[in-house]
């Protein structure tokens, strides 16, 4: 299974398991994760959720071949697509979500972390949001959530240039709860999840809701606006040049576009 899910001792674990493709996410993988999150929301036995990757890679983001085969139509972004179902389910989860990140977290591998409640990273973690490099715009409300966490100047540097940054820098910007040695990452994350399971579930849900309620409407609006613009930009010449260059393993040339 490219996404492994399991429930044990009140914890739902969702693990990326496609290392041969750097855990790149297909539509089917998004659907599996969305379904697991919806199921967890309705299962009173689940009291915490943990996302895991592999020691060497969290996720390379979208599988570009699969993504382009199932790309949204400009002007008609289909919010029933698996990626959007995943966004809604994660953003709307009332239960605490922990992410344990090691290796590269690219694109949605980074933006999804902004919807988790506790994010722990190994010291080998690298984050990047290369949307502009692909002729696209940010997604999953990262255009508003990331500046709110990191401050506008640092967020602008990461979103406009799309360059990778380290776990330590992510921690200093407020993206992470803690940075740990690689061999300590997963055991620590699971212990934190176990602590949440032992606490009153109603109190956990209420506290999370109170912390998120002031920005939830803005987050939902940002996701919708980004989806519409992202879908349009995906059909534009800049994105076509970026993706063509990616598959041809060359540097894109954007000089001919205004």
Average pLDDT, the chain: 96
Per domain, the residue ranges of the chain are 3-183
In angstroms, the first-to-last Cα distance of the chain is: 44
Least confident stretch, 55-69, 76-90, 115-129: 76-90
Residues 70-92, mean pLDDT to the nearest whole number: 86
Q: Say which residues have a Cβ less than 8 Å from residue 45's Cβ, sequence separation at least 6.
A: 7, 10
**Distance (Å, rounded) from C-alpha 50 to C-alpha 64?**
25
Paired sense of beta strands 97-101 and 118-122, if any = parallel
pLDDT digits (tens, 9 = 90+) for 157-187: 999 999 999 999 999 999 999 999 999 999 9
Superfamily of domain 3-183 in the CATH hierarchy: 2-enoyl-CoA Hydratase; Chain A, domain 1 (3.90.226.10)
- Which pLDDT value is given to residue 174? 98
The helix or strand, by DSSP H or E, that contains position 99, with its residue range, turns out to be strand 97-101
Q: Are strands 48-52 and 11-16 parallel, antiparallel or unpaired?
A: parallel
Per-residue confidence band for 77, with pLDDT thresholds at 50, 70 and 90: low
In the predicted structure, residue 76 carries a pLDDT above the cut 80: no
3-state helix, strand, coil in the chain (%, to 5): 50, 20, 30
Tokens 């999953």, located at residue:
140
Contact present, 208 and 94 (Cβ < 8 Å)? yes
Residues 187-243 pLDDT 10s: 999 999 999 999 999 999 999 999 999 999 999 999 999 999 999 999 999 999 999
pLDDT for 75: 66
pLDDT digits (tens, 9 = 90+) for 14-23: 999 999 999 9
> pTM for this one?
0.96
- For residues 12 and 48, is the Cβ–Cβ distance under 8 A? yes
- Matching residue, tokens 């998120």: 212
231-238 contacts at long range (C-beta below 8 A, 24 or more positions apart): 231/71, 231/72, 231/73, 231/74, 231/75, 231/76, 231/77, 232/74, 232/75, 233/135, 233/136, 233/137, 234/71, 234/72, 234/74, 234/136, 235/74, 236/135, 237/135, 238/135
Q: Residues near 258 by Cβ (< 8 Å), separated by ≥ 6?
A: none
Q: What percent of the chain has pLDDT over 90?
A: 93
Among 61-70, 112-121, 133-142, where is mean pLDDT lowest? 61-70
């Amino acid at each position: 299974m490219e996404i492994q899910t399991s429930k044990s001792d009140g914890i739902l674990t969702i693990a990326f398991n496609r290392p041969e493709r750097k855990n790149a996410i297909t539509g089917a993988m998004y659907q599996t994760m969305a379904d697991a999150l919806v199921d967890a929301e309705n299962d009173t036995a689940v009291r915490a959720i943990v996302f895991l990757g592999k020691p060497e890679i969290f996720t390379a983001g979208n599988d570009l071949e699969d993504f382009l085969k199932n790309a949204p139509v400009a002007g008609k972004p289909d919010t029933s697509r698996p990626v959007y179902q995943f966004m809604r389910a994660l953003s709307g989860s009332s239960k605490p979500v922990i992410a344990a990140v090691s290796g590269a977290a690219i694109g949605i591998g980074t933006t999804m972390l902004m919807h988790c409640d506790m994010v722990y990273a190994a010291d080998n973690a690298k984050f990047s949001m290369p949307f502009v490099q692909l002729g696209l715009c940010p997604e999953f409300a990262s255009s508003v959530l990331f500046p709110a966490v990191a401050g506008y100047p640092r967020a602008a540097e990461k979103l406009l240039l799309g360059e990778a940054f380290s776990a330590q820098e992510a921690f200093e910007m407020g993206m992470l709860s803690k940075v740990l040695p690689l061999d300590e990452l997963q055991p620590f994350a699971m212990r934190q999840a176990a602590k949440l399971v032992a606490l009153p579930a109603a109190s956990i849900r209420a506290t999370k809701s109170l912390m998120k309620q002031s920005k939830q409407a803005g987050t939902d609006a940002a996701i919708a606006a980004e989806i519409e613009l992202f879908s349009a930009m995906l059909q534009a010449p800049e994105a076509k040049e970026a993706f063509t260059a990616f598959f041809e393993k060359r540097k894109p040339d954007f000089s001919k576009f205004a």
